[in-house]
């Protein structure tokens, strides 16, 4: 469905076009929202219009309000099946009630999307798949994905990180959002590895790290170091060949050079090689080929590929019932 079709379908359920457009944004990217976000989206001040909108949502059981920690604010969970059916997303995970930490992360992400509407933001899996299959030369199996099952029962989930991707108005530039939510960037490393082949196919791109308040600079520096190690430091062909041999030989119990195998285990025990191995188990030697390619390093050198730090200026502790806790 196009964005206009989704807005029209939601408006047909009794909402104004502006209210429907906001609900579509919430359902595609977060599933939850707060009142001030509707005001920011609609360009109105906090008041009766906002109150009437959320009262209607709750009265029709389209959303459920949850109280915040120490004030009168509410987090609204938009979950009604009829709303999601209207936009072709009945089975999306946002309909399920999430943990407090995940809810706050989604509110953060929605704040950024509302503040940056100079991009078209892709949220649904099928929207991302359709966009990149139509605008790049990639095949479906080259898109970011995770596979489950074996043989004929394999299921593929595309863009499994469920994070928004922004597309500039001219379609040439793409922004991949990532929220810093842990001090160690192992998940971030896997995120980059999954998207490496996609990034190679884009003319201009950036990885935008959203940094909540209170995060130490050293933590953000560590994320940038992971970015440069994964994408700006291609594997040397000799290392890549040894890596392929190691991955193919690691589980062999028969005749294999044990001394070489022990040496490879020591050399390839670093986090970068563990991430490559996880991807290799799914996609084979193509993963090593991508890690060896210089195209991403070249893009970063000429600044058509970038790492961006974006500090979130708002405090979100008031959304928690445990104000002041870590």
List domains and CATH numbers for the chain: 1-115 (1.10.10), 119-234+293-326 (no CATH), 237-292 (no CATH)
Q: Which of 7-11, 72-76, 272-276 has the highest mean pLDDT?
A: 7-11
DSSP letter (8 states) at residue 235: P
pLDDT confidence of residue 90? 87
pLDDT at 87 over 70: yes
Per residue in 150-197, pLDDT (tens digit) is: 767 788 899 999 999 999 999 999 999 999 988 877 899 999 999 999
Which of 234, 257, 315, 235 has its CA nearest to residue 71? 315
**Which secondary-structure segment (H or E) carries 76?**
strand 74-78
pLDDT grade for 324, boundaries at 50, 70 and 90? very low
Whether pLDDT at 299 is above 90: yes
- Whether residue 218 has pLDDT greater than 50: yes
The three-state secondary structure class of 74 is strand
What's the pLDDT at 149? 77
Q: CA 200, CA 250: separation in Å to the nearest integer?
A: 29
| Whole-number pLDDT of residue 317 | 61
Task: State whether residue 214 is helix, strand or coil.
Answer: coil
- Looking at the predicted structure, is the pLDDT value of residue 58 above 80? yes
Concatenating the DSSP letter of every residue in 108-153 gives HHHHHHHH-TTEEEE-SHHHHHHHHHHHSS--GGGSSEEEESSGGG
Please report the pLDDT score of residue 323 as a whole number: 34
pLDDT for res 40 = 96
pLDDT of res. 255: 64
The per-residue pLDDT for range 244-268, each reduced to its tens digit, is 999 888 766 556 788 888 899 899 9
Cα distance between residue 311 and residue 309, in whole Å: 6
Asked whether the predicted pLDDT for residue 68 surpasses 80, the reply is: no
Q: Is the pLDDT of residue 314 over 90?
A: no
Instruction: Tell me the average pLDDT of the chain.
Output: 91
Q: Which residue's structure tokens are 């394999």?
A: 154
User: pLDDT over 90 for what percent of the chain?
Assistant: 74
* Average of per-residue pLDDT across 29-37: 95
Tokens representing 210 are 């959203």
Alpha carbons 83 and 89: distance in angstroms, whole number? 9
Which one has a higher pLDDT value, 243 or 319? Answer: 243
């Amino acid at each position: 469905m196009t964005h206009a079709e989704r807005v029209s379908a939601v408006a047909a359920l009794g909402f104004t076009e502006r209210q429907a457009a906001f609900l579509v944004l919430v359902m595609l990217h977060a599933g939850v929202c707060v009142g001030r976000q509707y005001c920011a989206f609609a360009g109105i001040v906090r008041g009766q219009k906002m109150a009437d909108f959320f009262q209607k949502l709750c009265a029709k059981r389209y959303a459920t309000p949850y109280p915040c920690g120490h004030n009168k604010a509410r987090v609204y969970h938009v979950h009604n099946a009829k709303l999601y059916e209207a936009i072709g997303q009945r089975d999306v995970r946002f309909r399920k009630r999430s943990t407090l930490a995940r809810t706050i992360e989604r509110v953060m992400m929605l704040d950024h999307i509302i503040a940056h509407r100079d991009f078209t933001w892709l949220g649904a899996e099928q929207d991302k798949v359709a966009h990149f299959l139509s605008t790049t030369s990639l095949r479906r199996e080259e898109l970011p994905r995770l596979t489950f099952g074996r043989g004929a029962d394999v299921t593929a989930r595309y863009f499994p990180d469920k994070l928004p991707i922004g597309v500039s108005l001219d379609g040439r530039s793409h922004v991949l959002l990532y929220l810093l939510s842990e001090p160690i960037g192992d998940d971030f490393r896997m995120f980059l590895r999954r998207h490496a082949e996609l990034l190679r196919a884009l003319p201009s791109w950036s990885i935008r790290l959203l940094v909540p308040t209170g995060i130490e600079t050293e933590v953000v520096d560590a994320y940038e170091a992971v970015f440069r190690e994964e994408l700006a430091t291609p594997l040397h062909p000799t290392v890549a060949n040894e890596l392929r041999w190691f991955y193919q030989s690691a589980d062999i119990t028969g005749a294999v050079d044990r001394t070489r195998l022990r040496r490879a285990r020591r050399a390839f025990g670093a986090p970068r090689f563990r991430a490559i191995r996880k991807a290799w188990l799914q996609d084979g030697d193509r993963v090593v080929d991508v890690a060896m390619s210089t195209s991403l390093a070249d893009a970063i050198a000429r600044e058509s590929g970038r790492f961006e730090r974006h500090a979130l200026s708002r405090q979100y502790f008031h959304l928690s019932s445990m104000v002041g806790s870590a």
